[in-house]
Amino acid sequence: MKKNDVILQTVTNVVVFMIFLFSLQVFFSGHYHPGGGFIGGLMTSGAIVLLLLAYDIKTVSKIIPIDYKLLIGIGLFFAVATGAGSLLFNVPFLTHAFSHFDLPILGETSLHTAVLFDTGVYLVVIGVTMTIIQTIGEGE
Amino acid sequence: MLDMVLKISLICISIAMLALIYRVIKGPTIPDKVIALDAIGINLVALIALISMLLKTSAFLEVILLVGILAFIGTVAFAKFLEKGEIIERDRNH
């Protein structure tokens, strides 16, 4: 019997973007407010889980054609490369630096290399969560 | 004055949550329990908002949105499990 969940799918199409924007906001405000890479990654994977609930694994892998196991590797590379980059400037491993830049639209912004490390955390959290959920969901 | 009002509201919401917990434990069918758990989540949102007013901080405002989203996803997942027996389908068109 074919079920018609048009209400769930329509609500999901709207809500997924809200959750994704909220997760990005939590991720980027992590330096000055509660939040950061971990909770941002969990919220992003929550948005993808909502897509998985409304549709199915095949459709979602067509919408978001990402290999999540590769995402773990990219995230770990980001974290290690941020740490190793400090070695180029003759300072200890994982030393971070920041400076103020005049960006075109945002005006004067302080950019910190900890954001790159946090990007690594963000990608690893998305990769691990989605790998676990997809592996369990695919098992018969 | 405002503190008094906030504390009375906290007590009222706690009583509402206790009644919902009774429904979670006692509820004759599973959907009763799921709806009670969803309502507990929404009451938790109100509780966090009142407590963040009481503590005069805006640090918990993300938590409010977060609990709302999590309650929605959890309820949808449980509803789908009750209806179809599986939460994540491999291919829904066959």
Question: Could B91 and A3 be called an inter-chain contact, meaning their C-beta atoms sit closer than 8 Å?
Answer: no
pLDDT digits (tens, 9 = 90+) for A38-48: 999 999 999 99
The predicted complex's ipTM stands at: 0.86
Q: What angle do CA A42, A74, A131 make, to 5 degrees?
A: 45
| B62 touching A (Cβ < 8 Å) | yes
Nearest beta carbon to residue A56 from set B69, B70, B89: B89
| B70 touching A (Cβ < 8 Å) | yes
Residues of A within an 8 Å Cβ radius of B: 3, 8, 15, 19, 22, 26, 33-35, 39, 43, 46, 49-50, 52-59, 133-134, 137-138
- Write down the pTM of the prediction: 0.88
Q: In angstroms, what separates the C-alpha of A107 from chain B's closest C-alpha?
A: 26
At A1, is the pLDDT very low, low, confident or very high (cuts 50, 70, 90)? low
| B65 touching A (Cβ < 8 Å) | yes
Q: Is the pLDDT of residue A2 over 80?
A: no
pLDDT digits (tens, 9 = 90+) for B8-41: 999 999 999 999 999 999 989 999 999 999 999 9
Contacting residues of A for B59, CB less than 8 Å apart: 33-34
Q: How much is the pLDDT for B45?
A: 95
Contacting residues of B for A3, CB less than 8 Å apart: 83-84
Under the phi-then-psi rule, with left for phi > 0, alpha for psi from -120 to 50, and beta for the rest, what region is B56? left
pLDDT digits (tens, 9 = 90+) for A83-135: 888 888 888 888 888 878 777 877 787 788 888 899 999 999 999 999 999 88
Beta bridge partners of A109: A101
Mutate to test the interface with A, among B61, B62, B80, B87 (most CBs of A within 10 A): B62
Amino acid letter for position A72: I
H runs (alpha helix) in chain B: 2-26, 30-54, 61-84
Q: How much is the pLDDT for A22?
A: 94
Q: How much is the pLDDT for A109?
A: 78
Q: In angstroms, what separates the C-alpha of A12 from chain B's closest C-alpha?
A: 10
What are the residue ranges spanned by the domains of chain B? 31-85
CA–CA separation, B69 and B46 (whole Å): 14
Q: Would strands A107-112 and A98-103 be described as parallel, antiparallel, or unpaired?
A: antiparallel
Q: Is A57 helix (H, G, I), strand (E, B) or coil?
A: helix
